[in-house]
Amino acid sequence: MTFTSVGLPALEDLAPIDQAEHARMCSRIVRVLQEEGGYMDFERFMELVLYEPELGFYQRETGQFGDEGSFTTAPEMGPLFARCLAQPCRQVLDEVGGVVLEVGAGRGTLACDLLLALQSAGALPDEYLILERSAALRRRQSALLDTLDEPLRGRVRWVNEAPEMRGIVIANEVLDALPVQRFEVFADDVRPLGVTLDGGSFQWRTGPSDRDLTAWYEELRGSLFELLPVGYRSERCRQLASTMARFCGPLERGVVLFVDYGYTRATYYHPQRTDGTLMCHFKHRAHSDPFVFAGLQDVTASVDFTAVARVGEQLGMTVAGYTSQTWFLLGCGLQAVLASLRAGEFTRQAQVAKKLLMPGEMGERVHALALARGFEQPLEAFALRDRSGRLASD
């Protein structure tokens, strides 16, 4: 996602429909708070504001992607990203055949552009499956994919569960949209941070000790070189393992490719990152307050790629590559893709390439990680610079 970090508008200045939907979302949260004794874990809050049917940010009919939305993801910037991703798809499909499964397909732009790129390369999958949590986004995807010709549209199918399959699974900016638990470090304890209602607005509140969090934190401390200071706040994703199991488990042979904002564990839980990685995006403005614009804004936390690699290994997969988006896209042949474009398109996509590659933009903040099962070939996309070794020790 790209965004700018400037002042936020006042709620009263929003469109009446946005104000009304925000009010309904807040009433829903307040009702849950009342049912749960005035306190809820932040993970529950994030679940509600992102995925509550009809009210959550990703369950709304509009307002997420592109100029009229809150953020722009790599596939939404033009076909360059999809044409790069066609390279690992081709390599995996050439070797194992089968399907592409896209998890969390947003408004369907990557699916459209990737199918067109694979058609040009003569490497279409048997099917293009989409596993999407949001009913509203499934409708948007379907409307966009209906614009494709039948030979392509006929390959697309939505699934509620990943079937047993061979091929490649793609998840771009999906793991960073999973609800996370937030915590704070105390002198002799670690406690969850949750949400309460105070003076008519949502506020942070420290929750009761949680044995599962404490055990997880003890393990984390053992793997870090430096102690985390008192007052340190960060996040952990408890839904990572169950979410990954849904599409890594059924993959008999092939590769799962994650591209997301995130870092290795040591960088993620660096002692200087004292307020974690939680970010909110509202109409292309980034800020750190998840309690404003509930339901109208995105709330996201970066991905601990060491945790992703470990879950993959527990699911019987091996890490087949980990690198920054810059080196990943260059490894996918971005320069050759650019060189193949006509003059007008080249100029536009060269600007996109800058955003995707520049270290201060997405280049070093987004990483790609591939997990493989029954696929032994080195992935060309990671041939230029593979940092897998850092997942364990960095």
Ligand X SMILES: C[S@@+](CC[C@H](N)C(=O)[O-])C[C@H]1O[C@@H](n2cnc3c(N)ncnc32)[C@H](O)[C@@H]1O
CA distance 166 to 14: 47
For 172, residues 6+ apart whose C-beta sits below 8 A from its C-beta are 73, 74, 75, 81, 104, 110, 259, 260
Q: Which member of 70, 87, 91, 134 binds ligand X (CB under 6 A)? A: 134
In terms of C-beta density within 10 A (0-12 exposed, 13-18 middle, 19 or more buried), how is residue 67 classed? Answer: exposed
Phi, psi of 181 (to 5 degrees): -90, 135
Q: Which member of 87, 172, 234, 264 binds ligand X (CB under 6 A)? A: 172
Q: How far is the CB of 258 from ligand X (least distance, A)?
A: 11
Count CA atoms closer than 13 A to 156's CA, side-chain side.
Answer: 28
Q: Which member of 25, 105, 220, 332 binds ligand X (CB under 6 A)? A: 105
- Is residue 118 within the footprint of ligand X (CB under 6 A)? no
- Is residue 73 within the footprint of ligand X (CB under 6 A)? yes
CA distance 170 to 114: 11
Report the residue number, 46 or 220, with the smaller CB distance to ligand X: 46
Q: Binding mask 216-245 vs ligand X (x if CB under 6 A, - otherwise)?
A: ---------------------------x--
Report the residue number, 44 or 207, with the smaller CB distance to ligand X: 44
- Is residue 131 within the footprint of ligand X (CB under 6 A)? yes
Mark the segment that binds ligand X (CB under 6 A) among 2-10, 83-91, 101-109, 216-224. 101-109
Sites for ligand X among residues 275-294 (CB under 6 A): none
β-bridge mates for residue 103, sequence order: 131
β-bridge mates for residue 129, sequence order: 101, 157
- Is residue 325 within the footprint of ligand X (CB under 6 A)? no
In terms of C-beta density within 10 A (0-12 exposed, 13-18 middle, 19 or more buried), how is residue 119 classed? Answer: middle
What are 270's two structure tokens? 């660096």
- Is residue 137 within the footprint of ligand X (CB under 6 A)? yes
| SS3 labels along 266-320 | HHHCCCCCCECCCEEEECCEEECCCCCCCCCCEEECCEEHHHHHHHHHHCCCEEE
| Terminal-residue alpha carbon distance, the chain | 25
- Is residue 174 within the footprint of ligand X (CB under 6 A)? yes
Q: How far is the CB of 118 from ligand X (least distance, A)?
A: 17
Residue nearest to ligand X (CB): 104
Report yes or no: 221 and 325 within 8 Å, Cβ to Cβ: no
Q: How far is the CB of 342 from ligand X (least distance, A)?
A: 25
Report the residue number, 46 or 152, with the smaller CB distance to ligand X: 46
- Is residue 133 within the footprint of ligand X (CB under 6 A)? yes
Element (H, E) at 258: strand 251-263
- Is residue 257 within the footprint of ligand X (CB under 6 A)? no
- Is residue 195 within the footprint of ligand X (CB under 6 A)? no
CA distance 180 to 299: 10
Report the residue number, 33 or 110, with the smaller CB distance to ligand X: 110
- Is residue 297 within the footprint of ligand X (CB under 6 A)? no
Q: How far is the CB of 277 from ligand X (least distance, A)?
A: 15
Q: How far is the CB of 361 from ligand X (least distance, A)?
A: 15
Mark the segment that binds ligand X (CB under 6 A) among 12-20, 105-113, 265-273, 314-322. 105-113
Report yes or no: 174 and 300 within 8 Å, Cβ to Cβ: no
Q: Which member of 56, 63, 69, 75 binds ligand X (CB under 6 A)? A: 75
Report the residue number, 207 or 312, with the smaller CB distance to ligand X: 312
Residue with tokens 């750190």: 288
Check the CA dihedral 37-39-44-49 and report its sign. Answer: positive
Report the residue number, 161 or 376, with the smaller CB distance to ligand X: 161
Q: Which member of 43, 52, 76, 235 binds ligand X (CB under 6 A)? A: 76
Q: Which member of 82, 89, 177, 279 binds ligand X (CB under 6 A)? A: 177
- Is residue 106 within the footprint of ligand X (CB under 6 A)? yes
Measure CA 332 to chain center: 20
- Residues forming contacts to ligand X in the complex (CB under 6 A) are 58, 73, 75-76, 103-106, 110, 131-134, 137, 172-174, 177-178, 243
